[in-house]
């Protein structure tokens, strides 16, 4: 229960934080731009809207997850507000989990609002609602799962590193995690067993963000431009992967956080 109160307060903080609004504004601008682009191009308006919309959801989400994520705990330590929390009957694990869930809630709201904006744009272009619009939801869920993992990464790094370094680490891993498959193909090509082992190790060790790519099957884009729904098994496995990796990172962060001194 206390975890939820902490989460609630974190959400409230995020909402009252102007940074969040700025990012949302950027996203709405992007979707607006997409509308304009849709007007200009011939044929693929809806596809372009979906592509730009999904890219906005993902990109702004990652920015929020990284930059709010690294300061979730850091800010409380720096401003000494954490003194009033840990001196209450609240364990540090609860605090950490609460902060994490609070940001997830913010991200969920953010993603939902943007999906609404995409729907609005699609209705505008199509002239009416079409149930096939809902096909973007699985892809959205995958993006959200990706954001959950990015948040966990930020929290993990910020549990022992400075905010700037945490941001660098998280963003690097996010980028590297999208090229993760290259490690596997390097491993297959490699002739030295050491190199092959290293490549394979890195492949399984680093968070594999390409698991959450909804356009991993590029042929799936249908004529109307709707993303094809990923296979249920793939969706499920990607979710399980993201959740387990997230719990892993949280456990590590909690272990480190437990031993920390707050200045």
* Site residues, other proteins (CB under 8 A): 2, 5-6, 9, 12-13, 16-17, 79-91, 93, 182, 184-186, 188-189, 204, 208, 211, 216-219, 230-231, 233-234, 237-238, 240-241, 244-245, 247-248, 251-252, 254-255, 258-262
- Rounded least distance, CB 208 to other proteins, Å: 6
Q: What is the DSSP string of 179-248?
A: SHHHHHHHHHH--SHHHHHHHHHHHHHS--GGGG-GGGSGGG--TT-PPPPPPHHHHHHHHHHHHHHHHH
Q: Are 152 and 249 in contact (CB under 8 A)?
A: yes
> Please, which residue, 119 or 203, has the CB nearer to other proteins?
203
Residue 70 CA to residue 161 CA, distance in Å, equals 9
Smaller CB separation from other proteins, 123 or 231: 231
The Cα 115–Cα 123 span in angstroms is: 12
Quote the least distance from Cβ 124 to other proteins, whole Å: 28
Is residue 103 within 8 Å of 14, Cβ to Cβ? yes
Between CA 79 and CA 63 the distance in angstroms is 23
φ, ψ at 42 (rounded to 5°): -110, 120
CB of 20 to other proteins, least distance (A): 12
* DSSP code, position 17: -
Nearer to other proteins, 77 or 108 (CB): 77
Question: 79 or 128: whose CB is closer to other proteins?
Answer: 79
**Measured between alpha carbons, how far is 176 from 247 in angstroms, rounded to an integer?**
20
Decide whether 32 or 255 has the Cβ nearer to other proteins.
255
CB of 24 to other proteins, least distance (A): 17
**Shortest reach from residue 145's CB to other proteins, in Å:** 12
Q: In this complex, which beta carbon is closest to other proteins, that of residue 12 or of residue 129?
A: 12
- CA angle 102/108/112 to nearest 5° reads 150
In angstroms, give the least distance from the CB of 128 to other proteins. 32
């Amino acid at each position: 229960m206390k975890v939820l109160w902490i989460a609630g307060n974190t959400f409230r903080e995020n909402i009252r934080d102007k940074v969040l609004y700025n990012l949302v504004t950027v996203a709405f601008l992007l979707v607006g731009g997409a509308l304009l682009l849709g007007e200009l191009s011939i044929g693929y308006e809806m596809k372009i809207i979906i592509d730009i919309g999904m890219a906005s959801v993902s990109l702004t989400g990652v920015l929020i997850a990284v930059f709010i994520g690294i300061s979730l705990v850091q800010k409380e330590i720096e401003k000494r507000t954490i003194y009033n929390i840990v001196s209450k009957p609240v364990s540090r694990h609860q605090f950490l989990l609460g902060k994490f869930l609070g940001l997830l809630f913010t991200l969920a709201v953010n993603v939902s609002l943007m999906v609404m904006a995409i729907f609005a744009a699609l209705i505008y272009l199509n002239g009416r609602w079409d149930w096939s619009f809902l096909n973007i939801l699985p892809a959205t869920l995958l993006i959200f799962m990706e954001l959950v993992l990015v948040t966990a990464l930020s929290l993990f790094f910020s549990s022992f590193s400075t905010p700037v370094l945490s941001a660098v680490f998280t963003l690097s891993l996010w980028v590297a995690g999208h090229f993760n498959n290259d490690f596997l193909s390097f491993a297959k090509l490699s002739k030295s067993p050491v190199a092959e082992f290293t490549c394979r190790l890195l492949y399984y060790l680093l968070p594999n963000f390409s698991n959450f790519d909804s356009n991993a099957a590029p042929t799936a884009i249908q004529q109307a431009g709707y993303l094809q729904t990923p296979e249920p098994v793939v969706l499920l496995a990607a979710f399980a992967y993201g959740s387990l990796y997230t719990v892993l990172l949280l456990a590590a962060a909690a272990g480190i956080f437990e031993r920390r001194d707050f200045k």
